[in-house]
Amino acid sequence: MAARSRAAARELARAVVGRFQGLAVALHQTWRRSLQIRVVTITLVASSLLVGGFAYLVADKITNILLANARTDVRLRLDSGRDYTAKQMAIYTEPQEAGLDDTLLNTVDYLAGGDPAQISGVVVGLRADRSSGVIEPQTSPDLNVSAVLTPELRAEVSSGKIARQIRTGDVGAGRTKYLVYGSPVPTRVGQVELYYLVPLTRQEQTAAEARATVLATGAALVLLLGLLAALVTRLVVSPVRAAARTAQRLSAGLLDQRMTVNGEDDLALLAASFNQMATNLQRQILRLEEMSRLQRRFTSDVSHELRTPLTTVRMAADLIFTEREGFDPAVARSAELLQAELDRFEELLTDLLEISRFDAGFAMLDAEPTDLVPVVHRVADRLRSLADRIGVPLELDVPDAPVIAEVDPRRVERILRNLVGNAVEHGEGRPVRVSLGLDDTAVAITVRDHGIGLKPGEEKLVFNRFWRADPSRARQTGGTGLGLSISLEDARLHGGWLEAWGAPGQGAQFRLTLPARAGDRLTTSPLRLVPADAALPFTGPRDGGPLAIGPAEGGVLAVGPGPTGPGPAPAGAGHRGAHERAV
């Protein structure tokens, strides 16, 4: 039973904590999202502090004034009472004389106002501490003032000084705060001490009323300032919110959206300027869309129209190329050049047609379960002769087991062909490594070279059409300059990522990440984008010997419909029984 009770208490505590945490999160989100709430809250807090400080100063000033007035009044009464007491006791020369006590009693009654009921609440007392036991203390009214007259005060008055203090006590009329004044009265029978006990009830009530009035006025002022801040910020925030909503609709493609213009003030000018900007943007976007449509149509039409004469020229060139052995050496060489340039021209037309299909949105994905291991080997075998001619060792790091993913094998092979060919082209005779990895949701392929690398900022341009890192370099593959652009579109069509990393003198690495099941959304990648050997500069031999690596510099570019994936992961993550083969 006790254990069940403790468990129930813990559950209740967790529920309460969870509710408070949820409330705190909601308040934090509201604070971050609402400019009006922030302005009103800051105004209320600042005005509350200001009004509170002002109220404290005013109340303290009023209290000091009332207390000063009470002190002045009591001091005047004390001086007058001391003179009166001295005159009344002037006829006595001995403390034992008859009638001395009656005179003291009549004196305190007179000084107290002669009203035994003590409507004013003032208490007057006469004592003779130096003649204790001979002269009896007298008070008017007859109250016990010992709770208010402290020994320190009585000792100071007994020594011949005028003293005062504020004390709270009950002398028989309820617990009350008193302003106590004491003064010595020299007489022929010895020194007598005169005390005035003035209640401060009226002053406290007046000060409390003043504080309440100031606080009420301050609270009303704070609420008024908060309401005023809410109204003012609403006047400013409402057009801004309308502009934000209109901008969101414009960004969603609703180019006919406009803001409502009211009045002629600055906010109206803002709305009119925003509408003018939207109109200009709409006009420019429509113009660019028309130009883009015409460009795509021109590219597509030209590519298709060139197919017919190219086919005829190809047939004639093939015939000439076949019979080149019987030609003059110069003519035979021309036939070979004609054949090579026709191959390049045909490849360019193919790439242009593919780009036009992507631009027109007609590209289709023919996904099917595919083992990517043979795809990687097929690409490597196809580029082996080029790598051997340039002197670039081609290394594979792929799992032994099949790596199955729902992809379009033709497009994936084209991406890898472009990436590996680009790495071999810029490998500077150093090894190029192709790695394949997988996890539960994605597959990834990285292509790493140790060539010239990418300068800072160039990783943002590498996927642009017809862009080259070094236009002065002589190409070995005769590419069209559209390979990486087409690869990027192929990766996007799969819902995947194509990313690049590079640093001067440290080479580059490209990473292709594809979902294992078509249509899934990527969140992570099995392989790291920044290579593990990017800590030290590459100083190894050009023939593929031992490597020395050092600190990376340069940037990372993530291109695709999703995030860039996780941070660096252990090299070769996702491999099962991986092996390496030099091709």
Q: Is the pLDDT score of 572 beyond 70?
A: no
Cα dihedral 512→518→521→522 (10° resolution) = -20
Give the bridge partners for 183, in sequence order.
Answer: 194
- Residue with the bigger pLDDT between 264 and 160: it is 160
Q: Please provide the CATH number assigned to the domain covering 368-472+480-582.
A: 3.30.565.10
CA distance 124 to 160: 18
Quote the strand ranges of 143-261, DSSP E: 163-170, 175-187, 190-199
- Which residue type is seen at 35? L
Q: Which residue bears the tokens 């009329």?
A: 173
Instruction: Kindly report the CATH class assigned to 93-199.
Output: alpha beta
466 SS3 class: coil
Q: Is the pLDDT score of 347 beyond 60?
A: yes
Least Cα distance to 237 among 383, 451, 39, 414 occurs for: 39
Q: Give me Rg for the CA atoms of the chain.
A: 49
Q: Is the pLDDT score of 471 beyond 70?
A: no
- Which residue type is seen at 217? T
| pLDDT-derived band at 442, boundaries 50, 70, 90 | very high
Question: Cα dihedral sign for 161, 165, 167, 172?
Answer: positive
On the question of a common fold for 93-199 and 258-363, the answer reads: no
Q: Is the pLDDT score of 378 beyond 50?
A: yes
Alpha helices by DSSP H, 34-115? 35-88, 100-111
Structure tokens at 229: 């801040």
> Using CB atoms within 10 A of its CB, is residue 282 exposed (0-12), middle (13-18) or buried (19+)?
middle
Q: Which residues contact 349 (CB under 8 A, 6 or more apart)?
A: 303, 306, 307, 310
Q: What is the pLDDT of residues 148-203, one digit of tens each?
A: 888 888 888 888 889 988 888 877 767 888 889 999 988 888 888 888 888 888 88
pLDDT at 7: 77
**What does the mean pLDDT of the chain come to?**
79
Other Cβ atoms within 10 Å of 166 Cβ, number: 14
| pLDDT-derived band at 575, boundaries 50, 70, 90 | very low
259 SS3 class: coil
The per-residue b/e assignment along 27-38, b for 16 or more CB within 10 angstroms, e otherwise, is eeeeeeeeebbe
CA distance 376 to 487: 15
CA distance 417 to 409: 12
pLDDT at 1: 62
Q: Is the pLDDT score of 387 beyond 80?
A: yes
Q: Is the pLDDT score of 576 beyond 50?
A: no
CA distance 241 to 237: 6
Question: Cα dihedral sign for 293, 294, 297, 298?
Answer: negative
pLDDT at 580: 36
User: Distances in Å between the alpha carbon of 132 and those of 136, 138, 158, 372?
Assistant: 7, 12, 12, 116
Helices (H) and strands (E) in the chain, counts: 11, 16
Instruction: Kindly report the CATH class assigned to 258-363.
Output: mainly alpha
Domain boundaries in the chain?
Answer: 1-29, 34-88+206-238, 93-199, 258-363, 368-472+480-582
Least Cα distance to 397 among 579, 547, 528, 544 occurs for: 579
CA distance 294 to 177: 96
| pLDDT-derived band at 380, boundaries 50, 70, 90 | very high
Pair 370, 405: CB distance under 8 Å: yes
Question: Cα dihedral sign for 65, 68, 74, 80?
Answer: negative
Q: Is the pLDDT score of 567 beyond 50?
A: no
| pLDDT-derived band at 301, boundaries 50, 70, 90 | confident
User: Distances in Å between the alpha carbon of 46 and those of 38, 94, 211?
Assistant: 12, 70, 20
- Residue with the bigger pLDDT between 372 and 113: it is 372
Question: Cα dihedral sign for 284, 289, 293, 295?
Answer: positive
179 SS3 class: strand
Strands lying side by side in the sheet with 579-582? 555-559, 497-503, 507-515, 442-449, 432-438, 394-398, 579-582
pLDDT at 433: 93
| pLDDT-derived band at 117, boundaries 50, 70, 90 | very low
The total number of residues written for the chain in this structure: 583
C-alpha neighbours within 13 Å on the C-beta side of residue 542: 9
Pair 494, 411: CB distance under 8 Å: yes
